[in-house]
C-alpha cells in the first residue's frame, strides 16, 4: 500500500467513525432510552465473550479495572448484568448478561443498525456486503496484529 493511499484510508476511516460516534452520541443525548457508548460497548463485550472476569474486559478494552468495575456496578444496578462467582477461582467474579441486558442490547443494536441502514439507503446490497466483509477482515487483522492482544480478543476473532 502506498503512503498516499494509507493516509487517505486513515483519514476516511477516522472521519467515518467520528461521524458515526457523533451520531450515536447525539442520539443518546436526545433519546432517554438510548445507551451511551461505554454502556453499549461493555454490554456488547460481555455478550461476545459470555461470562467473563472484569479484569479480562479491562485488558481487552485497554481500560483500567477501576473504570470497568464502576461500569459493571452501574449496569448491575440497572439489572442488565449479574456478577457470578468464578468457578475456577472463588476469589474472583465473572460478569454475565441478564435477560433484560440481552434485550436492552438487542434494542440498542437495532436502533443503531437502523441509523446505518438509513445512511446507506442509496447503496446497493453488494456494496453494503462488500463494506461489511472488508470491515470484518480489517477488524480481524487489526486484532491479530496487536502485540498485547488478550486471549479474549483472540478467541472471539
What is the overall mean pLDDT for the chain? Answer: 88
Quickly state the pLDDT bin for 4 (edges 50, 70, 90). Answer: low
For the cut 70, the answer to whether the pLDDT of residue 107 exceeds it is yes
Place of cell 446507506: 120
Residue 86's SS3 state is strand
For the cut 90, the answer to whether the pLDDT of residue 154 exceeds it is no
Quickly state the pLDDT bin for 2 (edges 50, 70, 90). Answer: low
pTM beyond 0.85, yes or no: no
Span 43-72, mean pLDDT?
89
Task: End-to-end CA distance of the chain: give it in Å, rounded.
Answer: 24
Q: Which residues contact 57 (CB under 8 A, 6 or more apart)?
A: 42, 45, 46, 49, 68, 72, 95, 152
Check: CB of residue 81 under 8 Å from CB of residue 96: yes
**Helix (H), strand (E) at residue 3:** helix 3-30
d(CA 23, CA 31): 12
pLDDT digits (tens, 9 = 90+) for 112-141: 999 999 999 999 999 999 999 999 999 889
Residue 73 confidence (pLDDT): 95
Q: Which of 18-22, 41-45, 77-81, 144-148 has the lowest mean pLDDT?
A: 144-148
* Structural domain spans, the chain: 1-33, 35-152
Q: Which fold has domain 35-152?
A: Arc Repressor Mutant, subunit A (1.10.10)
Span 86-94, mean pLDDT?
84
d(CA 72, CA 123): 38
Residue 157 confidence (pLDDT): 47
36, 81, 77, 79: which is closest to 57 by C-alpha? 81
Span 18-41, mean pLDDT?
91
Residue 20 confidence (pLDDT): 92
Angle, alpha carbons 97-141-60 (nearest 5°): 35
For the cut 90, the answer to whether the pLDDT of residue 152 exceeds it is no
Amino acid at each position: 500500500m502506498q503512503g498516499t493511499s494509507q493516509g487517505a484510508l486513515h483519514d476516511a476511516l477516522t472521519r467515518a467513525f467520528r461521524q458515526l460516534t457523533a451520531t450515536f452520541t447525539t442520539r443518546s443525548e436526545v433519546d432517554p432510552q438510548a445507551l451511551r457508548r461505554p454502556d453499549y460497548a461493555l454490554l456488547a463485550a460481555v455478550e461476545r465473550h459470555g461470562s467473563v472476569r472484569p479484569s479480562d474486559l479491562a485488558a481487552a478494552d485497554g481500560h483500567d479495572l477501576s473504570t470497568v468495575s464502576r461500569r459493571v456496578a452501574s449496569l448491575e444496578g440497572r439489572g442488565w448484568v449479574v456478577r457470578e462467582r468464578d468457578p475456577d477461582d472463588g476469589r474472583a467474579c465473572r460478569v454475565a448478561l441478564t435477560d433484560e441486558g440481552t434485550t436492552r442490547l438487542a434494542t440498542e443494536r437495532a436502533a443503531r443498525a437502523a441509523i446505518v441502514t438509513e445512511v446507506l439507503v442509496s447503496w446497493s446490497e453488494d456494496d453494503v456486503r462488500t463494506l461489511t466483509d472488508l470491515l470484518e477482515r480489517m477488524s480481524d487483522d487489526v486484532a491479530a496484529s496487536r502485540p498485547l492482544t488478550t486471549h479474549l480478543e483472540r478467541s472471539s476473532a
